[in-house]
Amino acid sequence: MGIVDLQPLGKGKYSLMMEAIAGYGLGGSTVALFARVGGGIYTKAADVGADLCGKMEFDLPEDSPKNPATIADNVGDNVGDIAGMGADLFGSFAESTCAALVISASFISDKGDGGCLYYPLIISALGIIGSFFTSFAATNFMAVDQNEKIESTLKWQLIISTVLLTPLLYVAAKISLPDTFTIDSQEKTAFHAFGCTLVGLWGGLIIGAQTEYMTSFSYSPVLNLVKSCKTGAATNIISGLALGYKSTIIPVFVLAIIIFVCFKLMTYLGVALGALGMLSNLAISLAIDAYGPISDNAGGIAEMSELGEHVRQRTDALDAAGNTTAAIGKGFAIGSAALVSLSLYGAYCTRVQLAVSIQDKMVFACLLIGAMLPYWFAAMTMQSVGTAAMDMVNEVRRQLQDVDIREGRKDPDYRACIRISTTASLREMIGPGCLVISNKQ
């Protein structure tokens, strides 16, 4: 179907079509909730349980085949860090796309500017193309022959994808948007839409670079945190909390600038386009985020297969770099979620033609309740991890009391630990899931 084919539908039909599509984003975010949080409960229950008992009580090496929770721990890396993050970013991408479509449909006039509905979809398509060429460059022109090059190669993939996507986003605006169109009685051009996506794209790069700087062992923040460990756990905790709080300063300022510029250019539609711009190199972000869990799993397999020490040293180097770059993906997830939430709010206000004022007593009261909900949700999930971890510790302790298992003459019951993590991740999601879904109604 060509762009002009949408014109005969009329403005009202556009709104109805996009309102139906909005359910797609809601479904994606709901599944992402269970994949992200349920996967997190699974992996942390196995990880904490295996370490507290196997490593600390029985002095077993990490990922030792004698530890009954080893396989559950390795599986958890895939469930929580790969499937969970993928579902999380997919939910953000789906919601931002739906928000842009809903708002665009409300602004379509009878002059044939229905092509703006294609703009969010073309951004996604060109993002895949740009990420493909970025991966090709990384695998064919940036050989990693030293441990020091691992982290820089992954970081350069994000930079290259951002540079490649800049002209592609301009092409998307030119081929899908009319020369001029009207938003809130103001005449806009394709360059305004391109500006919104451009701000989001480069803002995401800045957030990713800031996250990498604050979490990499190559820079002063982490090196200073290492020094604080020499004087005990108390100073380590204090310094770590301070570092975590400081790490939010620049991302919040970047998000504020993105929101201001995008809203100035194209109101709530601009915010939705800014979120899409930030997520346009989603494929690269997911690849960088998956690097750490894959390397960690490789190290676990090497340990369980009793390969040489040099193999484990190599996988540990890959894992260390992967843990840092994985934080970049989390920065994208959080930053895009902030833009998506505002764009969804804008889509709602635009669709129902509602003006919401914070001075309204009901709005202000609900605002306070909404600000409390993340803490309630976090408390429930942390308690869930603690409960599941205790069950895991008891099971690992019970099995390792068998001398034959500790000496390697008998295989542990890996299935029992996998069952504990699986059951806990499903059972403990009931409360947090009900909390979130009930507040969506």
Q: Give 375's contacts (C-beta < 8 A, 6+ positions apart).
A: none
pLDDT of residue 419: 92
Q: Give 376's contacts (C-beta < 8 A, 6+ positions apart).
A: 435
pLDDT of residue 252: 92
Q: Taking the alpha carbons of 304, 305, 306, 312 in that order, is the dihedral positive or negative?
A: negative
Using CA atoms, how far apart are residues 80 and 87, in angstroms rounded to an integer?
Answer: 10
3-state secondary structure of 186: strand
pLDDT at 317 over 50: yes
pLDDT at 4 over 50: no
Neighbours of 26 (CB within 10 A): 15
Which residue has tokens 């009319």? 178
8 Å CB contact between 333 and 36: no
Residue 440: burial class (beta carbons within 10 Å; 0-12, 13-18, 19+):
exposed
255-272 per-position pLDDT tens digit: 999 999 999 998 888 898
pLDDT of residue 316: 80
pLDDT at 6 over 50: no
25-36 per-position pLDDT tens digit: 888 888 888 888
Flag the least confident range among 14-23, 59-68, 219-228: 14-23
SS3 of 110-124: the string is CCCCHHHHCHHHHHH
Using CA atoms, how far apart are residues 39 and 80, in angstroms rounded to an integer?
Answer: 4
**Overall pTM surpassing 0.75 (yes/no):** yes
Which residue has tokens 């670079």? 209
pLDDT of residue 260: 94
DSSP 8-state symbol, 184:
T
8 Å CB contact between 417 and 46: yes
Q: Average pLDDT over the chain, rounded to whole?
A: 83
- Copy the structure tokens of residue 395: 């099971």
Using CA atoms, how far apart are residues 222 and 226, in angstroms rounded to an integer?
Answer: 6
Using CA atoms, how far apart are residues 170 and 200, in angstroms rounded to an integer?
Answer: 13
pLDDT of residue 11: 52
- Copy the structure tokens of residue 45: 């229950």
Closest among 74, 38, 97 to 429, alpha carbons compared: 38
Q: What values do phi and psi take at 440, rounded to 5?
A: -85, -20
Amino acid at 150: I
pLDDT band at 97 (very low <50, low <70, confident <90, very high): confident
pLDDT of residue 73: 86
Amino acid at 340: V
Using CA atoms, how far apart are residues 57 and 368, in angstroms rounded to an integer?
Answer: 44
pLDDT at 2 over 50: no
pLDDT of residue 331: 77
- Copy the structure tokens of residue 227: 């020094």
Side-chain half-sphere CA neighbours of 170 within 13 A:
6
8 Å CB contact between 285 and 85: no
Question: What percentage of the chain carries pLDDT values higher than 90?
Answer: 15
- Copy the structure tokens of residue 29: 């975010």
100-122 per-position pLDDT tens digit: 888 877 766 545 455 677 888 89
pLDDT band at 145 (very low <50, low <70, confident <90, very high): low
Mean pLDDT to the nearest integer, 361-368: 85
Q: DSSP states of 22-89 as a string?
A: HHHHHHHHHHHHIIIIIHHHHHHHHHHHIIIIIITTS-PPTT-TTSTTHHHHHHHIIIIIIIHHHHHH
pLDDT of residue 354: 65
8 Å CB contact between 156 and 45: no
pLDDT at 344 over 80: no
